[in-house]
Amino acid sequence: MHPHRIAFVIFDGFQSLDLAGPHEVFQQAGGYDCVIVAPASGPVHSGSGLPVHAGHAVTALRPEGIDTLIVTGGTGVHTARHDPALVGWIAAAARGAGRVASVCSGAFLLAEAGLLDGRRVTTHWARAERLAREYPAVTVEPDPIFIRDGHIWSSAGVTAGMDLALALVEEDRGRQVALDVARHLVLFLRRPGNQSQFSVGLWSMQPSSDPIRRAVTAIHADPGARHDISGLAAHAGLSPRHLQRRFTTELGIPPAAYVERVRVEAAQRALENGGDPVESIARRYGFGTAETLRRSFHRCLGVAPSDYRDRFRSTTGGPR
């Protein structure tokens, strides 16, 4: 039985972790023949300056015989997608490949090759708007970590490529092999593909004034407390109306929505790490009822709390 052949596409200015992370997952799993393809063979410099040796040039490597094609992203992708030889080779390789995947902004190269029209895809949240604008035939979803649409897989930025790679290994070799790889690399196996890219501490702006900072600190210190507008205004030393306006201006999100996201993240951690009933978690973190928690999870994460717990714990063998 021949090893499963994976071709990684890189280019000047690629993101090194888009290659190194998934490559390491496949090498740890075994049974994969990984090759690196670039516009020209030899040293290819990543966006951070790290040189990687590409063993094959697109002009020399026949696109047949590739089982999985993975296209990396990076700052150089917008130059690379205007390279007709590279884009043409990607399109040809994709025709025979059983699976095609992109990591981060590698989706731009797949879109340029005409492979994403009519499909759902994701990319790094900071690139999603541009991808949707420049390729209107593509349905871009900026929230999920990775998406599978038929034989096309796409993932968000950097470390999400490892989540995608683990999912591919699990599909090829089974859950136990993927679990062994995740344990060896000290990774979670695996974050659900539709888990949000966004953490409240990452996507929100930071408060620029002491009053709003005090309100935010109070929310994070006890997510389950009664953080209505009057209570937050008391923490900030402002009137409720003034607090509402300044909070939204400084953080880019109203107080109620911010409180909900912090509570959802607290509930996520509880579901990941313990076996408490969903009803208890809902009460502890200020949702009141399991139904309210369920609605918030669907709104913020697109998944039910019970499904979130099952999918996380079923692939880790228990709490982390």
Active-site hit among 17, 80, 101, 104: 104
CA dihedral 22, 27, 31, 37 (to 10 degrees): 60
Residues with Cβ < 8 Å from 262, sequence gap 6 or more? 200, 219, 220, 223
CA 229 to chain centre: 33
> Is 104 an annotated catalytic residue?
yes
Report d(CA 26, CA 33) in Å as an integer. Answer: 9
Longest dimension (CA), the chain: 71
Q: Where are the alpha helices (DSSP H) in the chain?
A: 16-29, 77-80, 84-96, 107-112, 125-134, 160-173, 175-184, 200-203, 210-221, 229-236, 240-251, 255-273, 278-284, 290-301, 305-314
Report d(CA 82, CA 224) in Å as an integer. Answer: 51
**If you count DSSP H runs as helices and E runs as strands, how many of each does the chain have, helices first?**
15, 11
Catalytic residues: 104
